[in-house]
Amino acid sequence: MAHNPASLKPLGVGIVGLSADGGWASRGHVPALQAVDGFELRGLAASTAESAVRSAEKYGVPLAFTDPGELAAHDDIDLVVVAVRVPRHRELITPALQAGSMVFSEWPLAVDASEAQELAELAAQQHIRTFVGLQARSAPGIRFVRDLIAEGYVGEVLSTTLVGSGGGWGPVVGAGGAYTTDRANGASLMTIPFGHTLDALTMCLSDFASLSAVTATRRPQVQVVETGEVLKMTAEDQVAVSGVLENGAVVSLHYRGGSSAGTNLLWEINGTEGDLVISGDSGHVQFGQFRIEGARRGGALSVLPVPERYLTLQGVNGPAEAVAHAYTQVRSDIEHGTSVVPDFAHALKHHQLLDRIARAALTGARQ
CA angle 283, 286, 290 (to 5 degrees): 60
Length of the chain (residues) = 367
8 A C-beta contact, residue 183 and residue 235: yes
Looking at residue 314, its pLDDT comes to 83
Given a cut of 80, whether residue 6 has pLDDT beyond it is: no
The pLDDT of residue 317: 87
Mean pLDDT of all residues in 245-271: 98
Give the separation between CA 267 and CA 197, rounded to whole angstroms.
Answer: 10
Whether omega for the bond prior to residue 220 falls within 30 degrees of 0, making it cis, is no
**What's residue 4's pLDDT?**
45
Tell whether the model's pLDDT for residue 286 goes beyond 60.
yes
Contact of 94 with 76, CB cutoff 8 Å: no
Residue 216 in this model has a pLDDT that exceeds 80? yes
CB 42 within 8 A of CB 15: no
pLDDT tens-digit readout, 302-360: 999 999 999 989 888 888 999 999 999 999 999 999 999 999 999 999 999 999 999 99
**pLDDT classification of 200: cutoffs 50, 70, 90:** very high
Sheet order of strands, 39-45 included: 63-65, 39-45, 11-16, 79-82, 102-106, 130-133
Helix axes 344-363, 193-204, angle to 10 degrees: 110
The answer to whether residue 1 scores a pLDDT higher than 70 is no
Phi first, then psi: what are they for 322, rounded to 5°? -65, -35
| pTM of the predicted model as reported, rounded to 2 decimal places | 0.95
Least confident of 48-52, 233-237, 267-271, 283-287: 48-52
Q: Give the per-residue pLDDT at 5.
A: 44
Q: How far is CA 321 from CA 68, 121, 141, 197, 324, in A?
A: 26, 31, 11, 16, 5
Assess whether pLDDT exceeds 50 at residue 111.
yes
Of 106, 67, 64, the residue nearest 85 (C-alpha): 106
Q: Where are the alpha helices (DSSP H) in 74-228?
A: 89-98, 113-126, 140-150, 193-204
Sequential DSSP letters for 134-156: -GGGGSHHHHHHHHHHHTTTTSS
**Cβ–Cβ under 8 Å, residues 283 and 255:** yes
| Domains along the sequence of the chain with CATH | 5-134+323-342 (3.40.50.720), 137-297 (3.30.360.10)
Band (pLDDT 50/70/90 cuts) for residue 7 is low
Residue 109 and residue 203 in contact, taking contact as beta carbons nearer than 8 Å? no
Whole-number pLDDT of residue 298: 86
User: Which amino acid would we find at residue 153?
Assistant: Y
